[in-house]
Structure 1
Amino acid sequence: MSDWETITLEQEGGVATLTVDRPDRLNALNVDTLEAIEEALKQAENDEARAVVLTGAGDDAFVAGADISYMQDLSTPEAQAYAELGHRVADKIETFPAPVIAAINGYAFGGGCELALACDLRVASESAIIGQTEIDLGIIPGWGGTQRLPRLVGDEVARRLIFFGERIDAQDAHEHGLVGEIVAGDQLDDHVSQLAADLAAKPHYAMAAAKEALNQSHETTQQAGLRYERRLWSGMFGTHDQREGMEAFLEDREPEFE
């Protein structure tokens, strides 16, 4: 357990579960909470977590967004600093050297949607409501939504969601490709825990390399990405997990990865 006031971090069996714990504010993200998430992710990485689950406390919200009462009177330099903090957190999720699963258990608006977009996998409860709602506040997504959302749902859908500030239910989010699957609310925690445990049992270095290569596909040309993949693929050979995985396959047994 952690000592932060606005989040909790629990680690078990290689899985780190990071919960935004401000249910009275629908888990809205203020500066303290963002800084705590950033610190918790660093701790989980130092502890060599093999999978991370990101979720929100309570029954109503994943993360309902950034703290509007804090943002209301920000100057441009202050807004820039707040944007940079949100981007650091989202980037840390996106580049964390293990899979990160968003367990979307309720409202995921604005910055909350953007944190979910930075995760590798998104699982929504049937009651989840998701949206990039910033336009109705007189602003735009500022923590990566304009860049990550089109890559998931396509340009036209992303423009509609951002231009109209539309809030969509879990079924529409799934049809658009914004979430990978939907489960009943009372099954969400168990289902995501099993997903995370399955991922944590995979070979750690190969999983980190797979995530790195996939992320690279968004950052460069296909040919440069293919060269990057070849280097990562070749670097797996000679590792314990590569030898163990192939020996186990040939011997028809379960592998024992590091």
Structure 2
Amino acid sequence: MAHALIETTESDGHVHITLANEEKPNPINAQLQKELNSVLGDLENDESVRVVSITGQGSSFAVGADISEMHGWLQNKEWDELMRFLRSGQELMSRISDLPVPTLASINGYALGGGLELALACDLRFASRSATVGFPEINLGMIPGWGGTQRLPNVVGQSTAKDILLTGRHIDSESALEMGLIDRVTADDQLDETVDDYAATIVEKPSHTTRYMLDAVEASKTDSTEMGLSHELMCDMFASFPAETTDRVESFMDRS
């Protein structure tokens, strides 16, 4: 389907998703949720996809939920509509988090509220030096509702997460890097190249191994260490079955 708010391109197994709202700084409204779900549906069924990156057009990655859309529901006490919107946002972020390929957030400007939740749903976060992140929801009397209160502590720890959420402050890229919220910071004009180079590195790895690797790491969030080790063992065995693994091991031995 044609998308009004998203542009997608593909190069050698790397799918680029660009949030491209010409009128606003990429708020995540119901239309964008629908379009992202459509793109994800295509990606989930395409075995040629090896890595996915998400960025924003212009000076913003994404500024979060579209407050103008939520305003009417709050004024009219349309709680069912608000609940539907929040639940669909949670499901969207979980769908991104559950993609069986590495996902890279390329934060080119503001990533606030739901925009930062979108970045946290990705496996890794790259940011331009001028990028700004944060969760300002508390200033509106709200809390992040698309997984921010759950994923943020997993990335930066409980205390730092509470500090970010309770103050609602904006955080520059260097500070975000120091606290582990961002994985890499680049010059503004080098962000795209840095993400592309990293994606190219991932594409070179055996795709079946990256899938099992991600699965094993995700298990560490919910499983006990004992269960996690069992899950790791299972993933390691499954990763060893394909002929590509045998071929790579044999190639390594030939070079030894």
TM-score by length of 2: 0.95
Matches within 5 A, 1:96-111: 96-111=99-114
1:56 alignment partner in structure 2: 56
Tell me whether 1:183 sits opposite 2:182 in the alignment. Answer: no
**Any idea what the Cα deviations from partners look like across 1:20-50, whole Å, max 9, x if unmatched?**
1114311111101011111112212222210
- The one of 219, 222, 246 aligned to 1:219: 222
Query: Where in structure 2 are the equivalents of 1:1-258 lying within 5 Å?
Result: 3-48=2-47, 49-58=49-58, 60-74=59-73, 75-252=78-255
Q: Distance in 2 between matches of 1:248 and 1:80?
A: 54
CA distance in 1, matches of 2:252, 2:41: 35
Deviation at residue 104 of structure 1 after TM alignment = 0.3
Q: Please list every run of 5 or more consecutive structure 2 residues that lacks an aligned counterpart in the other structure.
A: none
Partners of 1:31 and 1:202 in 2: how far apart? 36
For 2:246, the aligned partner's letter is: R
For residue 200 of structure 1, report the CA deviation from its aligned partner. 1.4
SS for the counterpart of 1:103 is strand
Q: Percent sequence identity over matched residues?
A: 37
Give the aligned length: 251
- 1:201 Cα deviation from its structure 2 partner: 1.5
Residue by residue over 1:219-248, the C-alpha shift from the partner in whole angstroms, topping out at 9 and shown as x without a partner, is 221111111111111112221221122112
Alpha-carbon deviation of 1:142? 0.2
**What is the TM-score normalised by the length of structure 1?**
0.94
**Retained in 2: the 8 A contact 1:170–1:182?**
yes
Instruction: Show structure 1 runs of 5+ residues with no match.
Output: 254-258
Aligned counterparts of 1:41 and 1:132: Cα–Cα separation in 2: 25
State the SS of the aligned residue for 2:17: strand
Cα distance in 1 for residues equivalent to 2:23 and 2:251: 50
The SS at the match of 1:191 is helix
